Amino acid sequence: MGLVERFSELLGLGERETGIGKPTRIVLISLLPFLHILACLIVELGQLTSGWMYISFADFPASVFAVAISYNWNHPFVLFGTIGTLWWLTLSVEAAYLFERISRWRNRGAGPA
């Protein structure tokens, strides 16, 4: 199952047997990417050049790619904001998918009481 199918399933666009409600799911999936883009905005608007180092630590696997691109293009807000936010969105979707799988696995044997 691809990322698009997982994302649409987690947003409640398909049939679901277990799990949390659609509004809660959307909030949980979008919370970390929102916090990341907010941190990037604070660093950019506050002109905190050392703040990009801390954001790169938080985005570690994805920040390697952003740092590699930044040698040719010096716009850290666009690079870290885009790549890091997509990284956190991917992590959130995968965590929600894992939660759904575990929830279904635990409820698989449970019948009506």
C-alpha distances in Å from residue 1, one per residue of 81, 84, 107: 27, 23, 21
- Is the pLDDT at 16 greater than 60, yes or no? no
Distance in angstroms (rounded) separating the CA atoms of residues 80 and 83: 5
Q: How much is the pLDDT for 110?
A: 61
Label residue 111 by pLDDT band (50, 70, 90). low
Q: Give the global pTM.
A: 0.70
- Is the pLDDT at 19 greater than 90, yes or no? no
Q: Which of 6-10, 45-49, 106-110 has the lowest mean pLDDT?
A: 6-10
Encode pLDDT of 83-96 as tens digits: 999 999 999 989 88
Distance in angstroms (rounded) separating the CA atoms of residues 64 and 69: 9
Give the pair of three-digit tokens for residue 34. Answer: 């929102």
Distance in angstroms (rounded) separating the CA atoms of residues 20 and 10: 9
| Of residues 97, 85, 91, the one with CA closest to residue 25 | 97
Give the pair of three-digit tokens for residue 23. Answer: 């509004």
Encode pLDDT of 40-73 as tens digits: 999 999 988 888 888 889 888 888 888 888 777 7
Our measurement of the distance from residue 39's CA atom to the centroid of its chain's CA atoms, rounded to an integer in Å, reads 14
